[in-house]
Every structure is written in C-alpha cells, then in structure tokens.
Structure 1
Amino acid sequence: MTVAASPNHIADSVIRDFTSFTTQVRYTDVGDAAVSAAKRCLVDALGCALGAQETDVMRALRTVASTATSSRAATVFGTTIRTTPDLAAFVNGSAIRCLDFNDDYFGTDESNAKGDTGPHPSDNLGGVLAAAQVSGATGADALLGVIIAYEVCGQLVDEVVLRGNGWDHPTFHSIATSAAAARLLGLSRAQTADAIRIASVANICLFETRVGSISNWKGLAGPNGSRNGLFAAMLAEAGITGPEMAFEGARGFMRQLDHRFSLGPFGGKGRPFRVENTYFKHLPLRYELQLPVQLALKLREVVDPREIASLKVYLEHKSVASREAEPALWRPSGRETADHSGPYLIAAALVDGGITEATFEPGRYLDPKLLSVTDTIELIEDTTYTASFPWQMACRFEVRTEDGRSLTIRGENPKGHPQNPMSDAELTAKFLGQVEPRLGEDRARELLRALWSLEHESSLDRLFNLMTPGR
C-alpha cells in the first residue's frame, strides 16, 4: 500500500486549504447566522425529499436500496429501510433533488467564476446525514457538517469554471461531501486529505447529462456525487490513500479542466459562510428560470396568451438556447426536460397561471394549445444581464400581440435569491405544503420543530423516526 503523505505537509494547495478548513472549523466558532442558515437548508431539503416519496423514480431507488444490508447501516428517508451508508446517501440525496425544488448556489459579486455553474448544495445532504447517522453525531455535529459541505461546494462554485469547459457539477458534491463526511467520521488530518483527493480524481462528470432530451440521471447525478464523496471518506477511514497532487498535478484536476485557480477566503472570523448565501426556490424548476416564470405570471395579468404573436425573452448567456440547437426545449418529452425548458415553462405559466406538479405530466407538456404558445418564444442574450449574473439576476420580456401592440416587462432577482430572500415563515410554508400530505399536520409540525432546534438533539434518531409515517 502507498505510504500516505505527511499529515503536516500537503503539497497541493487546494487539498491543503480544504483539509485545514475541514479539520479546524468548530461549531462554537461558526456563529448564529451560519447555524440558522444551515437549519433553513435542512428544512427546505427535507421538505423536498418527503414531497418526492411517491414518485416512480424514488420507488425504483428504494427498491435498489432495500437489496443491501450493512453492519453499519443508514436509514432511507421516510422508511424503515436500513441499507449501506453510500446507498442511503444516494437515495436520500435523490429524494431531495427529485422534484427540482431544492436549493441552489451560484456565488456572489466576489465570485471569480461568475456563476459558471449552479450546483444544488443540498445534493450533498444525503451523504452528510448518512455520515452523521452512522457516526452517532449530535444535531450540532450534523449542522457543522452541513456548513462544511456548503462551504467547500461554494468555494468550488466561486472559483472553478466547470460548465464552460464541458464538465458537470456533481464532482463538486463528491469533494464537498468527502470533506464533511471526513469531519463527521472523525478522520485525522491525513485521512481527510486522502478522502478529498480520492473524491477529486475519481468523479469528473460530463455535462452531456444536462443537454438535449434529458433523462432521469439529471436529477440523480449530484446525489451520486455525494454518495461517492461519502465512499471516499470511508475508504480514507480504512487507510486507503489518494493521489497527492489531485488538483495541481501534471495530470490533475486543473490540467484536465484547462483551468488554474486558487481558493478564496473561507467563512469565519467575521466573514459570512457560503451557506448564508444559499439561493432558495419558490417554484419547482431550474433556478435561472424562476424569474422568467414570475414575469410570465405578471404578463398574464395584462395579455391573453392567445393574443401573443411573439415573445422575446432577454436573459444572461447561460440560459439562452435556440430552437435549432436544442429543439427538445420547445418540445419536451419528459419531466426532466420540461422543468429545465425556458420556452415551455414560460408558456405554461402564461396559459395555466402557475407551475404545479400537473405542469410536468405528459398530458400538459404535449398539449398542442400550450405548445402553440411555446412556439412564440425566443430566448436572447442581454450582455448587461450576463455581466451582472449571478448576484443580480435580470430578465426582460418584449411582447408583440396579434393586433400590433407592444409591451415590455422587466424584473430582477427572483423570490428566494439571497438579495430577495425567502423568510423562515415562507420556508416553513413550503415545507408543510410538501410534508403534511405525507405525514399529517401534527407529525409534520413536530418534525419541523425538531429541525428548527436541531442543535439541541443528542442524535439524529428522532429526526429519522419523525420522517417515517406511523413510527
């Protein structure tokens, strides 16, 4: 077996910085704002997870999880299934991600990558909570794990141009979860470095997952990254080492991406943690399309969608697509494409007056009358919007009606953006709207109280029990 690098000297600066942060940060040092933000993320994520339990995808994944057992078992959300920690991480993370209603992070006005990619940081929570459960962590320990995962993931979002180089963001989740899991499992500095190294070199992912007619894997890729991050930490715990120069080596992460970078300042010592700038969703669809859908609902108040001759939608560069390049966005054939299709979602909001689960049923996204409105929509880049993205998200509609009228509507920062935040009360309402139908009002509210006071829980046992109907 290869001899591990010295625990006191880590040559790769990215591995060194992530390891130092992960092993040195303390719950007592992170501050009330970060703890509150971590609880907000858990409330949002577990509401999404429980709301997705009866989908076909989650039924299939629970079947897979139930085939495995472990002497170090973790629980599948909302069930009595006990499976391997990595499978629990995958299934639970997939439940959080399934309805595309969970949080996002694109960075701030200080981010060097300028919102190149926007992974869902709560995709990490399947792995974080599995590690917390099997390690016997307290609620405060689990919250610190959340803060670590969001900080590491956010650092990568802020500094790494990934999507622009043809790669996909689940690799960020592998790295972030490996760090958080290493901390929760009590790994040494040397083991933590190896966990991050293994997660980094083994999990580079392809952006093909998110183009064309999109498959189920779109919603599962991020949670699979978290699963692999937890597995990397478990390997390091057992003494397995990883390549020393995972990021900066001659064939490392930076070389493969053709992009060199260094990490920015970490949260702490008066600087906000990245979890404090989480982007929450008020609609179950791609984050960059939250604002266009809001504007469509506003437009519907003054224009009958049947009267629209053309609708030009001005956005930042990454949200623009043409019908010639991506025809599936104008004719979605499945939920995964529909909830990422700007033309379809704008048309659905105009015609139906909202976005609900019914929006993603075949009878809706194949409806010729709705698709006739989709055909009027063109997506166009406004370079000033690209320049201000992501800390200022902007959108403009220029409408021409069949009788020759013209109308312009503008908006900035959708509800849930860090500069237009959802309140605790709004996140509570979102949670209860998804969880009460499954658990009933009393149990849903008891679970909510446990989440809002998680730092006082001696373990996660009560949390997992409350998520299961009838327990």
Structure 2
Amino acid sequence: MNPTTSPTEVVRLARFVADARFEDISPEALEQLKIRVLDTLGVAIGALDAEPVVAVRGLLDDLGGAPSATMIGGGRTSPDRAAFWTSALSRYLDFMDSYLAPGETCHPSDNLGAVLAASESVDGTGAELLTALAVAYQVHSRLSDEAPVRAAGFDHTTQGAYAAAASAAKALRLPVEQIANAVAISGTANNALRVTRTGNLSHWKGLAYPQVSKEGTFAALLASRGITGPEQVFEGNKGFKESIAGDFTIDWAAEDLERVRRSIIKKHNAEIHSQSALDAAQAVRAEDGFSPLGVSGVRLRTFDVAYSIIGGGEEGDKRTVRTKEEADHSLPWMLAVVLLDGELGPAQYHHERIIAEDVQDLMTRITIVPDAGFSARFPEAMPADLEVTMTDGTVFRASTDSYEGFHTDPLSWDGARAKFDLLAAPFATPQLREEIAQLVQDLEHRTVAELADALARVSPTRATATLASPAPTSAA
C-alpha cells in the first residue's frame, strides 16, 4: 500500500489519523474526552465481579501473554488481550456512552480498551492517549453517520473495527502506511452480525466489541511488523461499500476532532434509547398520589429506533426477560422496574430482581408504540411521552426529549465524578478513587503508566473496607 501515489480511501483515512495532534482538540472537546475516560473507567471498575467478566479474566490468566499492558484490577498481559479485558469491563454493565446517528447507534468509549493498552505498551503520554481516543470518536462516529449497517443485518461493531484499529495504530505511533494497513486488516476481518442484539440475548451482546477492540489492536501490531491489508477495503471489488454499506463519502482531510461533543453519556443503567423514557417514568413516580401497586396500564409513545431495538419492534419481542442481557434491552421491563423502584442501576440487574413477580407482571401491562413525529426529531432529540393509568381512572403523564448527559445537556465533571464514585466504591478506596480522578483530570500532563499503575491497584473483588462514603469531588 503506497500512501504517496493515487491514495485509496483507507490511505486518506490513515492520513487524517497520522496528522491528528493534541493541539487540534478544542478545550470543550478535551473536557468531554476526560469526562468520558472517567465515566468509562468507573463503569469498567463497577463490573469487576460480574460472572461473565470473572470467567473472561480466568481465561486471560490461563492464556498469559507478554506483560506489556496493565489489566484493571491487577496483572499484565499482551496489548490485544488487555484491550479485550478493558472493553469487556466497560461494556458489561451497559452503562457506557453512545453516539446517535440517524441509521446507527454506536458506543465510542468501547475504544478506550484498545487505546489504553496500545499506548501503555509504548510508554505513551496522556496527551497521546487523549489524541488517539479523539481519533476513535471521530472515525467511529463519522462512519456511523455516513455508513450505517444495522438495516443490512450487521452490528454497529462493524464500523468500530475501523475505529479500534485506527486509534490503536495512532497510540502505537505508526506511520501512514502502517495505519492504513491496520485499518484495512481490521475492517476486512470484523463484519459482525446484528443477531448479537436480536431475540434472546446472550453474553456476546457485551463481548462483541471487546472482540473488535482486541482484533483492532492486533491488526495494528501486525501492521507494525509490515503485514499488509486490502488497499481498497472501502471502495474495492467486494469491499465494504459494495458488500455491506453502500456508497458513501467522507472527506477525511476536512474532519476535525470534535465529534466527542456529540456523544452522550447514560444517566440510567440501561440501553441508550431508553434514557428519556426512564426519566419520564421517574417523573410519574414522583407525582403525588402515584403508587405502582395501583397501575392498570402504561402507554409509551417513542421514536421508531427505540421501538425497533428495545420496544418489541423489528428486533423481536421484549417481554421474555430472564437474564441481565435481556433486561437491559427490554424497554417494557426497564419501565416497569423504574416505576416500581424509582431507579435503574446495577442493583436492579440482580437475577432475583429481574425475575421478580411484581416487575414481570407490570411489564405485561406496558404498551409501546412508535410515533412518526417523534421519529422525525431523532437523533437531535429523544422524545418520550409516558401515560400511566391507575385502577381508579387517574392518569399520570410525563413527556421529555432529553436528559442530563445528552449532547444538549452535557454531563459535567462533577456529575461524572459522582457516577464514577458510585460505581467504583466497592472496589477502590476513597483515596484511590481520588487519585484516579486527579490523574484523568490532568491526563495531558501525566503518563499512561501512571494511570495504569493506579488502575492495577483497584481490587478485583468487593471489599467492605472500601465501602466508605465517596471521596470529595475535585474541582472541575
């Protein structure tokens, strides 16, 4: 692949990646990048004792690997396996950030695993890590904008294969030609099926992107040793455009590093398209005279993407809920548990709560319908109109179209810190949480090794000694 003559589309993308500089990140985007690093680390730490994650850790320990990248919770392994580990942690709770495009939804923070592992393996700086992460947000988001694949039956991790490889290659400080080869290898090899998120859901829902994070990192490592990939991965015969996405154009020379500001952070521990509806459920529950025991029926009007993915539309019925994976992708179940409990966090995903009779029964009385007017406003807004009818005929109603953490109401550093402390408290002392938060807040002046060292000192299991009140929030 020759980046100096007749550049292919992947070479033009690689030039954008290679040319990206920390100085190109605006102060606003830099603040949001740091907030997302802290948010993602909190979500990851909070998943350390989840059963599937423990199984993954056991496998990685058995496999070993050259100890060049740190694992959250202690231990070291190869960069590709460390990338899988961090991404598995940050995905399991389904509490990470999202990016909404008209035909696609992705989770750009999934790429932190690849960036963190690759950067540490070359003694990277915090500024380099933030730059590579900004690249990941830009590539992942823009491909989701212009080349959605869900309607064709492919998973959103498909575009992520390009972002993970591009950002890992950036973190490894590869030149243009090797970046292009890394992206081509990863993009060609990782075209995942949407069946991951339809029907009865499995553990793979939370592990599909860790696989891409691992493979994107490995593709970058292969490219660093001179391995080449298909030079026309996008536009070639049987390439991405012809086989999956259809024709699209992105002028990578005109791209910036600001797309992180359009991503959104979850307020509720639930699938992203449910967030505004769950806010509405909390508003109803707070009304004087409301009692979940007196609910006779619930009707939610929402936008078509929410209905299709989690409301019982094209991706299957959402009223058979037995597992955590099914629960956090069932809008009827999520609405029911919020009306009953007033919140939706990790505690609601304990198996006993998922299958409890009250939530299972209330779920059957919830109707979800798509609204064309609401759909026309998505993704600039996430409209939801919730109507709850009581057995005595009283009707409670709440409508909303955004929430704290949406791109029109960005999460503040203080808000991110509060969420981080809540999730990390069972695994990290107040002092360690403060240290991690301070490192992230000053990351451009620190090394990746410093952050990795702090993450290694997080306990892999819950410890009563860490259950003190959250550490004071540092100044924004």
TM-score tier after normalising by the smaller chain length = over 0.9
Counterpart in 1 of 2:134? 147
1:276 and 1:267 mapped to 2: Cα distance?
A: 17
Matches within 5 A, 1:368-379: 368-379=357-368
**Amino acid across the alignment from 2:72:** F
Deviations 1:17-37 (A, max 9, x none): 311210111112223222222
In 2, are the aligned partners of 1:48 and 1:101 still within 8 Å (CA)?
A: yes
Q: Which moved more, 1:58-67 or 1:91-100?
A: 58-67
Counterpart in 2 of 1:343? 332
2:405 and 2:56 mapped to 1: Cα distance?
A: 30
Identity of aligned residues (%): 31
Aligned length: 455
Deviations 1:57-109 (A, max 9, x none): 22111111112344462111121x221211110011111111111111114xx
Counterpart in 1 of 2:57? 62
**Amino acid across the alignment from 2:116:** L
Alpha carbons of structure 1 residues 124 and 266: separation in structure 2 relative to 1, 3 Å: farther
Counterpart in 1 of 2:441? 452
**Amino acid across the alignment from 1:460:** V
Counterpart in 2 of 1:6? 2
Counterpart in 1 of 2:267? 282
Query: Structure 1: 5+ residue runs without aligned partners?
Result: 108-113
Alpha carbons of structure 1 residues 371 and 276: separation in structure 2 relative to 1, 3 Å: same
**Amino acid across the alignment from 1:236:** A
The two structures, once aligned, show a CA RMSD in angstroms of: 1.9
2:126 and 2:261 mapped to 1: Cα distance?
A: 19
In 2, are the aligned partners of 1:68 and 1:83 still within 8 Å (CA)?
A: no
Alpha carbons of structure 1 residues 20 and 469: separation in structure 2 relative to 1, 3 Å: closer
Alpha carbons of structure 1 residues 235 and 299: separation in structure 2 relative to 1, 3 Å: same
2:313 and 2:63 mapped to 1: Cα distance?
A: 45
Deviations 1:147-167 (A, max 9, x none): 111111111111112111111
1:414 is aligned to 2:410: no
In 2, are the aligned partners of 1:131 and 1:185 still within 8 Å (CA)?
A: yes
Aligned counterpart in structure 1 of residue 100 of structure 2, from 106, 120, 134: 106
In 2, are the aligned partners of 1:119 and 1:169 still within 8 Å (CA)?
A: yes
2:259 and 2:32 mapped to 1: Cα distance?
A: 9
Counterpart in 2 of 1:49? 44
Aligned counterpart in structure 2 of residue 436 of structure 1, from 410, 425, 429: 425
In 2, are the aligned partners of 1:311 and 1:376 still within 8 Å (CA)?
A: yes
Matches within 5 A, 1:18-417: 18-71=13-66, 73-79=68-74, 81-107=75-101, 114=102, 116-263=103-250, 273-302=258-287, 303-321=290-308, 329-417=318-406
In 1, are the aligned partners of 2:299 and 2:388 still within 8 Å (CA)?
A: yes
Deviations 1:335-370 (A, max 9, x none): 011011100000000011111323112211212222
1:89 and 1:377 mapped to 2: Cα distance?
A: 40
Deviations 1:278-336 (A, max 9, x none): 20011111111111111111111233223222211111112115659777521211001
1:451 and 1:126 mapped to 2: Cα distance?
A: 15
Alpha carbons of structure 1 residues 272 and 133: separation in structure 2 relative to 1, 3 Å: closer
> For 2:344, what is the secondary structure of its paired residue?
coil
2:188 and 2:64 mapped to 1: Cα distance?
A: 28
1:201 and 1:61 mapped to 2: Cα distance?
A: 26
1:129 and 1:258 mapped to 2: Cα distance?
A: 29
1:191 and 1:324 mapped to 2: Cα distance?
A: 43
Deviations 1:94-148 (A, max 9, x none): 11111111111114xxxxxx1x221111111111111001111111111111111
TM-score (norm 2): 0.91
TM-score (norm 1): 0.92
In 2, are the aligned partners of 1:155 and 1:264 still within 8 Å (CA)?
A: no
1:58 and 1:279 mapped to 2: Cα distance?
A: 25
**Amino acid across the alignment from 1:287:** I
2:414 and 2:313 mapped to 1: Cα distance?
A: 43
In 1, are the aligned partners of 2:386 and 2:398 still within 8 Å (CA)?
A: yes
Deviations 1:219-258 (A, max 9, x none): 1111211111111111111111111111111201111125
**Amino acid across the alignment from 1:232:** A
> For 1:262, what is the secondary structure of its paired residue?
coil
